[in-house]
Amino acid sequence: MADWGPVFVSVMLFILLTPGLLIQIPGKSRIVEFGNFQTSGVSILVHAILYFALICIFLLAVGIHIPSRHRKLSTRFIFSSNNMADWGPVVIGVLLFVILQPGLLFAFPGTNRQLEFGSMKTNGKAIFIHTLIFFALYALILFALHVHIYSG
């Protein structure tokens, strides 16, 4: 049975924490800028740290699960040391978050061309396309390849 909880949480965090869409920390001229559709290596690093912290909270501490059979949101609280934490969705999510940030390696579509490399700019269409790519790769890695990293 597939657990869509990590996919849902990861995709939502990818959208909300993409630098330049809602917020960019640090901004180009100020500490915090809103909706500027710009990014930088430092802001991607800061947003990746925020992404890591939030995904750890939602997936490991709270344990959000969405089973494919019931389509009902359920949460499982992990307080016991007997439970093994699966770091696979966290590590995969953080790596994909960084690699697929529009403007870092590439932006598709770009601001001035169909495909731009290293422009450090983004746009709404690029965020949408990169989110779809993130979703597809994340789901493929979790469900088709069954990647898990357990720690006790």
Q: What is the DSSP string of 128-147?
A: HHHHHHHHHHHHIIIIIS--
Asked if the model's pLDDT at residue 45 lies above 70, the reply is yes
For the entire predicted model, the pTM comes to: 0.85
The sign of the torsion formed by the CA atoms of 135, 139, 145, 146 equals: positive
Structure confidence at residue 1 (pLDDT): 64
% the chain with pLDDT above 90: 64
Structure confidence at residue 79 (pLDDT): 38
**For residue range 53-70, what is the model confidence (pLDDT) as tens digits?**
999 999 888 888 777 765
Give 61's DSSP letter: I
**For residue range 81-103, what is the model confidence (pLDDT) as tens digits?**
446 778 889 999 999 999 999 99
Which helix (H) or strand (E) segment is 47 a member of?
A: helix 41-55
Q: Which domain holds residue 38?
A: 5-151
C-alpha dihedral (22, 45, 128, 2), degrees to nearest 10: -110
| Mean pLDDT score across all residues of the chain | 87
Residue written as token pair 């089973």: 67
Give 24's DSSP letter: B
- SS3 at position 116: strand
Long-range own/partner contacts, residues 77-83 (CB < 8 A, 24 or more apart): 81/152
How many domains would you assign to the chain?
A: 1
pLDDT band at 5 (very low <50, low <70, confident <90, very high): confident
